[in-house]
Structure 1
Amino acid sequence: MIPIIILMVGVAYLCGSLSSAVVICKLYGLADPRTAGSKNPGATNVYRLGGRIPALLVLLMDILKGTVPVYCSYWLGIEPVALGIIAIAACLGHIFPLYFGFQGGKAVATAFGAMLPVGPELAGLIVLSWLAALFVWGYSSLAAIVAVALAPLYTFFIKPDYTVPVAMLALLIIVRHKPNIQRLQRGEEPRVWDKRGKLKNNG
């Protein structure tokens, strides 16, 4: 089983390395999201640069980057903690993409996709938490932090065996948002509907 786990870790990283934001922006003739807007290659920045359709495509592709390798690993009978490592590999691929100069995004959507195998209940609770936080505060980054921070708690009540791997993912995403947290504390973080993209935001 160890060779299979190592193989899936590599597959997950390579899947994560496909920068959806860069690919979609090129297809739509938009500016490179790594150098324009918030300079973060994620769905939120693509929304600012090109609107809803490109952003939704980026979101879908980013989710699949996490879902596909983790689902495949799940059906191969890999244990929960190892699944967490594979999920983290997919997120690290998004954060440090091999094909795009290791300049990636926050991996929120990819982490969400990696959590989907836990079940639709978890997915629904995460989405509801994100929407509620976004509605209350208007910050995509803060909404993502709140949603992933609650994910391990939700998992504990839904499928306790997966609490540790989900907590591992949540910690990675929160750490990745350190600059956003600092800007939130200074009152400098732009709200999600701010399409000017002058400051870095979540994506």
Structure 2
Amino acid sequence: ISTEICTGETVQSLINTKKSFGQGWISYICKEILKGLYHLERQEVMLHDLSLKNMVITSSADVKICEFTIATLGARSSSTSGPLPYMAPEVLANFEKPSTEYDFKADIWSLGIAAIYMAEGHLPFSKLPRTKLIRRVIHGPAPTLAQEKWSMNFHGFVSECLQKSAERRPSARQLLAHPFISELWDERGVKRSLMRHVQ
């Protein structure tokens, strides 16, 4: 997999400074990441490593996926590589039943987790030890936005990304049509705001 050289600031670095983002920033970042995921799906590339530290915002406020070290080619995988807190239930199922296969929808779950992190400044279940986190994600209800201040569209978007059943979870292409993404207000203003904060 060949990628362009890009410089900028990771979303992880920015969240470490700001603690949480406004809804406009989150909508824009998710929109750009979904475009990337849609392109990768058409190329049959699974990331396995979508997290805030692998999202880069350039000086012109373009958003790039920047880490493909553990990406795999093909429509199915059973890899357990990647950051545990971002893993979908069907990925974590491999710790209980090895060789459980999954598809591109696992990266959509990771985006939903990233959206919560950007909104609330921490990962869901971040205080749980490894084994309890795995059981919680596999067997418990999906994470949600804890704060009610967010719009219904944002709550709905996170809920769609974090469908426990991969079959019911929308694809990147479908999520690009979700109101939280498609009805982003003043995208130019959002980009200008991001540019002022990117080092």
Q: TM-score, normalised by structure 2?
A: 0.35
Greater fraction strand: 2
Greater fraction helix: 1
